[in-house]
Amino acid sequence: MLIREKANKLRRVNRHRFAVITAVLTVLALVIGNLVVATGSGDACGTDWPTCKGSLLPDFLDYKQVIEYSHRLFTGSLGFVILINAVLAWKRKYTGETSIGVLALLTMALLLTQSMVGAFNVILGTPPGFTTLDVVVSMFLLTSTVFLAVALQRVEVKSHEGRKINHSYKKLFSPALWVFIIYFLEVTVGAFLKHSGASKIVNNMVTDDLLISSNLLSKVIYNIHGISNTLIVIGALYLLFMSIRKSVLVPASAMFFLLIVVNGVTGFITQLSSLNQVASSIHMIVVVITVFQGAYLVSKAYFGPCFFTWTVKGEEDVS
């Protein structure tokens, strides 16, 4: 009996590990998806789904088919991993820990939505601008997996001390949330700028694959993206200042600010290089990592390191 109790306690302490692996695999899936876009492999398997050109296997002599098919296999496998993660999270949640159940269901809902959007994107032949929706849903999915991992990382504390510790983290939640929201909106505008073809109009590139052909509208979207990028740099700097001032999550805030700066630099280089595929790919990888870090910062500030329960005069209070 004692061995079983020790095993259960150890399982609770390490309950977040599979969730962390799931979040990292989600990052890799987005990076591979970026490789598909960078190499122009999105239509390599045609409009067939889940088959490739009507076959269960791709033409291994066609590297674009291999890349697209590998992406499909990886994301399909990730779906099972996310499902297992949701089930494990539900089983390992503490009594009264409702946030775990909600996040587990949310990851499943976002996974289903992302799968449907991805399938429609393929079936419709990757229409201009539609990939923006795929990118946004994928980023939401990544954010939810990070939130779930951080929530599972909490340790159960049956005292008021846990509440005091969490309160110190909570001081950073509001600025972290607002900065992350602005950044998420910037990523959305940037994705639309790229996948609608507006960025090509701004760079005077001739192409037929356009959702937006107006030069004026393209420049308006481009300027909005540039202004939001400036705001996010200022916001990230303010967030770093607040974290240092309150002595909470300083390394995480510093890393987020650094990533925001690198994000701006790589984006600027991409524009200078007339949307060079290598530069664009590096920029998107930085974006994915920045979303990961931002989601970690917000979720850690919200949840804190403790899940605390205590009993007062026979009345149980769970938070």
Distance CA 304, CA 64 (A): 44
β-strand partners of 311: 316
89: tokens are 């999270």
Helices (H), the chain: 2-13, 17-38, 63-92, 98-123, 130-152, 160-170, 173-195, 198-202, 215-246, 250-272, 277-303
Please tell me the predicted confidence (pLDDT) of residue 190.
Answer: 83
* Interior/surface letters 129-168, b for 16+ CB within 10 angstroms, e for the rest: bbbbbbbbbbbbbbbbbbbbbbbbbbeebeeeebbebbee
Contacts of 270 (CB under 8 A, 6+ apart): 276, 279, 280, 283
Distance CA 131, CA 178 (A): 25
Please tell me the predicted confidence (pLDDT) of residue 191.
Answer: 82
Please tell me the predicted confidence (pLDDT) of residue 79.
Answer: 87
For residue 50, cis peptide bond before it (omega within 30 degrees of 0): yes
67: tokens are 């890349």
Distance CA 146, CA 286 (A): 17
Please tell me the predicted confidence (pLDDT) of residue 27.
Answer: 92
Please tell me the predicted confidence (pLDDT) of residue 278.
Answer: 80
Please say whether the dihedral angle defined by the alpha carbons of residues 18, 22, 23 and 25, taken in this order, is positive or negative: positive
- DSSP for 248-312 reads SSHHHHHHHHHHHHHHHHHHHHHHHTTS-HHHHHHHHHHHHHHHHHHHHHHHHHHH-SEEEEEEE
Q: What is the pTM of this model?
A: 0.84
Please say whether the dihedral angle defined by the alpha carbons of residues 262, 268, 272 and 274, taken in this order, is positive or negative: positive
Spans of the chain below 50 pLDDT: 1-11, 311-319
β-strand partners of 307: 156
